[in-house]
Amino acid sequence: MNQLTEFWPKNRVLSKGDWTPPAGTRFISADDHLMEVEHLWEDRLKGADKDRAPKYWQDEKGIFHLEVDGVSYNTPGFDLSFPEGRPGFWDTEKRIEDMDAEGIDASITFHSRAASLIRMQDKELWFKCIDVFNEWMAEWRMAAPNRLFPVAYLPTFYKPEMTRDYMQKVKDLGFKAVEIPMSPRGVRYNGKEMLPMWEAIAEAGMPLSIHIGVTIEYSGTGALGINLNRNLQPFNALFGQLVFSGLFDRFPDLKIIFTEGGASWVAPAITGADKVYRDYISALTPRIEHKPSYYWHKNCWTTFMDDPVALDLIDWIGEDKMMWSIDYPHPEGVFGESMKIAKQIYDKAGEERFKKIVGGNAAKLWGI
């Protein structure tokens, strides 16, 4: 280990530090991740599907591998022990130990490798794979049901007409949270064909997370940093897509969480969208009923890890619209210095707003 590797996730030393948060503070991480259990699809798919199941295993070095129809789904050119090497990623007991060491009360927990299965050409088999993943997550949470709150992956953006039935299944499995990917290929979230999906989500009353994804768009010199920079700051255009399509006018009860893209993007996004509304209102189709900033403050939330600029923009973003996350156990996550970052939020925001941002808002939104 050297100075470059000592802060890799697997090497981080966890501690609550010396600072004592105000009494009554709940720390709820609004965006963490789990690693799917080995051989998940090989063991759980049935019949002819089992023969074509994605192969998923952990090698002797602790690195996970995913293969579909003989094609590796590992991220190319990347040492996977860097983001995936911490045992709490796949060992729930060690995860809880890490949460305790950092003082984290509860975790909103997202997929890991399951999301990459979207590359599968056979979408019928893909749908079944996601179904298996959701059923497994519902079992996974029972190791600590008052602390672990996994997010179901909604696969019906390819079959919007199936969303109502699938949302009922998600509820029956005990989920409080659901997600869709940010920009699946060939899907227009503002298309009329997607209205059955949005209607069913709104009727279900369950908050919907839209999580950043991994897109390998650039190659060449500096490609890793370029792609990471692109992937971690993606939400301005998506916010405009949802707002200017009239989605929130049609379904005013929708609750959308923009996840893992930080919070400072919100202020320029809503002020820029408000200017578009003001300057082009006579030409907009549909003509939305309110300024875009209205829909932000009514229907939207964002998560962030370490975003000091956002703390200067709380009045623009909204103290009720920001939710802190640890992003356990990703390299860009703040576990290992969680209470250091929490103290910075407290110093900037003050006690009342601090309590909302680090846990109160998440508790209210997801009912935990």
Instruction: Give the pLDDT score at 81.
Output: 65
**Conformational region of residue 50, where left means phi above 0, alpha means psi within -120 to 50, and beta covers everything else:** alpha
Residue pair 295/246 in contact (Cβ under 8 Å)? The answer is no
Q: How far apart are alpha carbons 176 and 146 in whole angstroms?
A: 12
Per-residue burial over 38-64, b = 16 or more CB atoms within 10 Å of its CB, e = otherwise: eebbeebbeeebeeebbbbeeeeeeeb
Instruction: Give the pLDDT score at 225.
Output: 46
Q: How far apart are alpha carbons 363 and 358 in whole angstroms?
A: 10
Residue closest to 166 by CA, chosen among 138, 133, 201:
201
Instruction: Give the pLDDT score at 230.
Output: 46
Residue pair 148/104 in contact (Cβ under 8 Å)? The answer is no
Residue type, 309: V
Q: What is the pTM of this model?
A: 0.92
| DSSP type of residue 9 | G
Instruction: Give the pLDDT score at 6.
Output: 62
Please name the residue that has the structure tokens 């050409």.
121
Instruction: Give the pLDDT score at 215.
Output: 53
Full set of structural domains in the chain with CATH? 25-366 (3.20.20.140)
DSSP string of 61-86, one letter each residue: TS-EEEEETTEE-SPTT--THHHH--
Instruction: Give the pLDDT score at 234.
Output: 65
Strands 148-153, 106-110: pairing kind: parallel
Tens of pLDDT along the chain (368 residues) come to 445 456 778 888 888 888 999 999 999 999 999 999 999 999 999 999 999 999 999 998 888 999 999 999 987 766 666 666 789 999 999 999 999 999 999 999 999 999 999 999 999 999 999 999 999 999 999 999 999 999 999 999 999 999 999 999 999 999 999 999 998 989 999 999 999 999 999 999 999 999 976 554 534 454 344 444 444 456 888 899 999 999 999 999 999 999 999 999 999 999 999 999 999 999 999 999 999 999 999 999 999 999 999 999 999 999 999 999 999 998 889 999 999 999 999 999 999 999 999 999 999 999 99
Residue closest to 358 by CA, chosen among 333, 338, 331, 332:
338
